[in-house]
Every structure is written in C-alpha cells, then in structure tokens.
C-alpha cells in the first residue's frame, strides 16, 4: 500500500497493519455475511483497521474477544466485552482501545474462555487464491491463535477472516515464499467492494506455540510467553 491516500492515521504504514480507507465499508460487508451472523463469540485484533469490525460485533449482539495490546500483560491476555451489559450508545467507544481497556473484562490463562466462532486478523497483504497472509512481522496473530488453539476454544473449523483494501490483494503470493508452519492463512477476505473465499485454502497451524521458533526477543517483547512456557500450555 504505497499510496498514502489509501490509508489513514497512523502514518506511515510501514511496520503497521494499514488503517485503510474503506475499513468501515469492509466491516459492514463482513457483518452481512452468513458466517458472521451465525457466530456468537468473535475474536478481533486490536488494530485501528479492524475497529469497525469490533463495532459490528457488538452491534450484532455477539461477544467480543480482543487481545491486550501487544500481549503485554502476562496475567490478563484478552479483553471480553459482552454487548448485553452495555447500552448501544457505548458500542462505538467500546470498539476503541480506550473503551476496551476501561470496560473490557480481563481474561487470563486461569479463566475459562468461551468457544470462539471466528477470528478476525489484520493483514498487510493477502492472497485471494490460497489465503496466504502477510502481517506486520511481529507474529501477534499467530501467537494469539496458538494460545486459543492450545486452550481448546478454536480448531480447524474456526473461520479466520481478514478485512483489507482491494489494493492489499496480492494475487501472485505463493505459500512456499511467504508462509511458514506457524503462519496463519485466512478462510475469508472482505474488502470494501467484494467478499472472497480462497479456493485453494492453506491448512491452519495446529501445534500451538512452536517454542523452537520463538526468539529471545519475542519473549522479552511479549511477556505472556514466559508464563505460557512455564505452564507448558503449548503442545510443542
């Protein structure tokens, strides 16, 4: 996404999930899908680009699960927001980072998490053919997915979705050039103009956290990894 006119604050988009122009339209399109309507609990990443998705999760009366920023809290790794506990006028604020931090119920590894029906992730680029996805390179989406998978609240059937601008569609992205065994592909791609179901979907990672792939830098930057390793919550 080289054209800055296609992205909003924060700029530049380097090392970020782009807050793309049309994010509201993409979120609305996702909210109209049968897959979205059938969900009861949806996990959404905390990026600005997916803030409209978080709003529609609440507006459609579904429980919202959002990771703590950068997974920086080792004791409380997710926020849970139940829209039934708040008035509709609050939904816009609850979808923001400040709203989640103020009113979200913190969930740690000791608390039970309800089964998650859909995971929404941010993307820098995504392939419409096979669902291969590039994030911002920190591995947060993969770690969040691995945690939920290790806790038994998601599985291969849990739909993984991304919302992006049409310019973020990368048609010649091949799995062997951008994806590793722990990388998370998507089942559904929603843009401001279209809904795409990749026909040659790639398999999702199913081994939990692969500790041989976790660097010391990641452990320093993501404190929850230390506790996860101590609890041996991973399957590998």
What is the residue-level pLDDT of the chain in tens, covering all 236 positions?
545 577 776 666 666 789 999 999 999 999 999 999 999 999 999 999 999 999 999 999 999 999 987 666 656 789 999 999 999 999 999 999 999 999 999 888 778 889 999 999 999 999 999 999 988 777 778 888 988 888 889 999 999 999 999 999 998 877 666 667 678 999 999 999 999 999 988 888 876 677 776 777 777 777 777 777 776 554 44
What span, in angstroms and rounded, lies between the C-alpha atoms of 107 and 104? Answer: 9
pTM for the structure as a whole: 0.88
Q: Are the beta carbons of 80 and 107 closer than 8 angstroms?
A: yes
- pLDDT given for residue 11 in this prediction: 67
Q: Which of 140, 229, 133, 216 is nearest to 180 (CA)?
A: 133
CATH code of the domain covering residue 87: 3.40.50.10420
Give residue 130's domain range.
4-229
What span, in angstroms and rounded, lies between the C-alpha atoms of 98 and 58? Answer: 16
Residue 133 lies in a domain: yes
Residue 69 DSSP class: G
Question: What tokens does 143 get?
Answer: 């770690």
Residue 236 lies in a domain: no
What span, in angstroms and rounded, lies between the C-alpha atoms of 163 and 27? Answer: 7
- pLDDT given for residue 71 in this prediction: 64
- pLDDT given for residue 75 in this prediction: 67
Q: Who contacts 230 (Cβ-Cβ below 8 Å, separation ≥6)? A: none
- pLDDT given for residue 57 in this prediction: 98
Domain total of the chain: 1
- pLDDT given for residue 205 in this prediction: 81
Residue 234 lies in a domain: no
Residue 150 lies in a domain: yes
- pLDDT given for residue 176 in this prediction: 63
Residue 193 lies in a domain: yes
């Amino acid at each position: 996404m080289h054209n800055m006119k296609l992205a909003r604050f924060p700029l530049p988009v380097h090392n970020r999930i782009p807050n793309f122009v049309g994010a509201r339209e993409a979120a609305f399109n996702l909210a109209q899908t049968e897959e979205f309507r059938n969900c009861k609990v949806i996990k959404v990443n905390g990026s600005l680009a997916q803030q409209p998705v978080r709003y529609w999760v609440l507006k459609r009366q579904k429980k919202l699960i959002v990771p703590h920023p950068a997974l920086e809290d080792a004791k409380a790794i997710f926020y849970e927001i139940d829209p039934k506990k708040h008035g509709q006028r609050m939904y816009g604020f609850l979808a923001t980072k400040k709203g989640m931090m103020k009113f979200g119920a913190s969930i740690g590894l000791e608390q039970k998490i309800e089964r998650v029906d859909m995971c929404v992730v941010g993307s820098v680029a995504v392939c419409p053919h096979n669902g291969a996805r590039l994030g911002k390179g920190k591995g947060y989406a993969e770690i969040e997915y691995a945690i939920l998978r290790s806790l038994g609240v998601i599985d291969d059937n849990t739909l993984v979705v991304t919302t992006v601008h049409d310019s973020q569609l990368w048609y010649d992205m091949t799995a062997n050039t951008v994806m590793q065994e722990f990388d998370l592909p998507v089942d559904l791609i929603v843009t401001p103009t279209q809904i795409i179901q990749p026909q040659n979907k790639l398999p999702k990672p199913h081994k939990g956290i692969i500790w041989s792939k976790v660097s010391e830098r990641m452990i320093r930057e993501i404190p929850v990894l230390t506790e996860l390793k101590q609890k041996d919550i991973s399957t590998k």
